């Protein structure tokens, strides 16, 4: 029987097969081969002595590490415009991680009711995202405003929700599904950051597709990326790559660089370029330590 892993908790995996859920354990051979089943995996299962067993894990289209989800087609990056405050570094790291994994990205700005959209800080954040070519959706999730826009993009996709704790991922998911599937937490007034309210990754079937609710997190390692390939994960660079004077330009200290010229001309967002250089230097410094 073939199915998809919809949830994994403490070594047990819940597989949807023909609209039914089968609780399974994974065969030991996966552990010895350093292959751990993930939510989103397409698998082959069998029933042995009344218990479900995962016999085969089919090749993955992609694999996210944090959150741990496989075979995702698009990511909905949820950003709270207030409470918690916008973390540009985290947003850029998440965008980079999504690009690395070949995911289409939709950026969802939540909690519109808490900010003045005309403020310079908010406009700068929104303009930065739009300048990269990403689709944006604006929400007041607790009031249901904008939820229909989310539902429309779920069709025929496996969508992962990502973003920091407290930005409203579970609130949005609950509104999309139409019932309280996950605990929704408040923001800690003392720490001004979200409590970890979602305990595991889980795929839920919605509108001819699947959505994945994932734990909020506040950091992600991207230093494993290659310094020569990094530029390919910045969609706003694409039109300028290849226009530089030197072959193999990484748009750092080289002269006559088309990307740097685009930044100077305001065609590429300066903050995004600063993040690119910060990430590039981190990768270079790490590789020099080996």
Following DSSP, what letter does each residue of 225-248 receive, concatenated?
S-TTTGGGG-GGGTTTTT-SSSTT
What dotted CATH number matches 2-57?
2.40.50.140
Question: Is 163 known to sit in a ligand binding site?
Answer: yes
Question: Is 165 known to sit in a ligand binding site?
Answer: yes
The predicted pLDDT at position 214 comes to 59
Question: Is 257 known to sit in a ligand binding site?
Answer: yes
Kind plus residue range of the DSSP H or E element containing 202: strand 202-206
Question: Is 171 known to sit in a ligand binding site?
Answer: yes
Burial 56-76 (b: 16+ CB within 10 A, else e): ebeeeebebeebbbbbbbbbb
CATH architecture of structural domain 230-288: Orthogonal Bundle (1.10)
The mean-pLDDT minimum among 59-68, 98-107, 156-165, 272-281 falls in: 59-68
Question: Is 206 known to sit in a ligand binding site?
Answer: no
- 2-9 and 42-48 strand pairing: antiparallel
Question: Is 167 known to sit in a ligand binding site?
Answer: yes
Question: Is 53 known to sit in a ligand binding site?
Answer: no
Question: Is 119 known to sit in a ligand binding site?
Answer: no
Tell me the fold of 63-213.
Answer: Rossmann fold (3.40.50)
Among 209, 213, 208, CA closest to 197: 213
The owner of tokens 């994932």 is 214
Cβ within 8 Å of residue 140, ≥6 positions away:
110, 111, 112, 113, 146
Could you report the per-residue pLDDT of 169-191, keeping only the tens digit for each?
888 888 888 754 554 544 444 33
Q: Domain residue spans in the chain?
A: 2-57, 63-213, 230-288
Over residues 21-26, the mean pLDDT reads 90
3-state secondary structure of 149: helix
Question: Is 164 known to sit in a ligand binding site?
Answer: yes
The predicted pLDDT at position 183 comes to 47
The predicted pLDDT at position 98 comes to 86
Question: Is 85 known to sit in a ligand binding site?
Answer: no
Which range of 147-156, 177-186, 222-231 scores highest in mean pLDDT? It is 147-156
- 51-57 and 12-17 strand pairing: unpaired
Average pLDDT, the chain: 85
Question: Is 26 known to sit in a ligand binding site?
Answer: no
In CATH terms, are 2-57 and 63-213 the same topology?
Answer: no
The predicted pLDDT at position 166 comes to 86
Among 164, 180, 175, 176, CA closest to 214: 164
The predicted pLDDT at position 32 comes to 66
Question: Is 110 known to sit in a ligand binding site?
Answer: yes
Question: In whole angstroms, what is the distance from residue 251 CA to residue 109 CA?
Answer: 30
The predicted pLDDT at position 167 comes to 87
């Amino acid at each position: 029987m073939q199915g998809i892993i919809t949830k994994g908790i403490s070594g047990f995996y819940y597989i949807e097969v023909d609209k039914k859920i089968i609780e399974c354990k994974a065969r030991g051979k996966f552990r010895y081969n350093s292959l751990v089943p993930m939510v989103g995996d397409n698998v082959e299962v069998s029933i042995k002595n009344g218990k479900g067993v995962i016999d085969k894990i089919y090749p993955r289209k992609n694999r996210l590490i944090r959150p741990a989800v496989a075979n995702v087609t698009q990511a909905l990056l949820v950003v709270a415009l207030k409470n918690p405050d916008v973390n540009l570094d985290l947003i850029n790291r998440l965008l980079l991680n999504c690009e690395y994994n070949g995911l289409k990205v939709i950026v969802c700005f939540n909690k519109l009711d808490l900010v003045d959209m005309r403020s310079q800080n908010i406009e700068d954040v929104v303009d930065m995202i739009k300048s990269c070519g990403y689709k944006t959706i604006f929400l007041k999730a607790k009031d249901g405003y904008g939820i229909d826009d989310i539902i429309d993009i779920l069709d025929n996709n496996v969508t992962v929700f990502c973003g920091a704790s407290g930005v409203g991922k579970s609130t949005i998911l609950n509104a999309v599904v139409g019932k309280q599937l996950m605990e929704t937490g408040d923001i800690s007034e003392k720490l001004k950051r979200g409590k970890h309210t979602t305990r595991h990754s889980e795929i839920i079937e919605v509108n001819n597709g699947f959505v994945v609710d994932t734990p909020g997190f506040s950091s992600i390692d991207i230093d494993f990326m290659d310094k020569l390939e990094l530029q390919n994960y910045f969609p706003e660079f694409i039109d300028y790559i290849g226009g530089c004077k030197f072959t193999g330009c990484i748009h750092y200290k080289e002269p006559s660089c088309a990307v740097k010229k685009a930044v100077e001309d305001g065609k590429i967002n300066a903050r995004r370029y600063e993040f690119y250089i910060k990430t590039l230097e981190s990768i270079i410094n790490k590789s020099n330590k080996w």
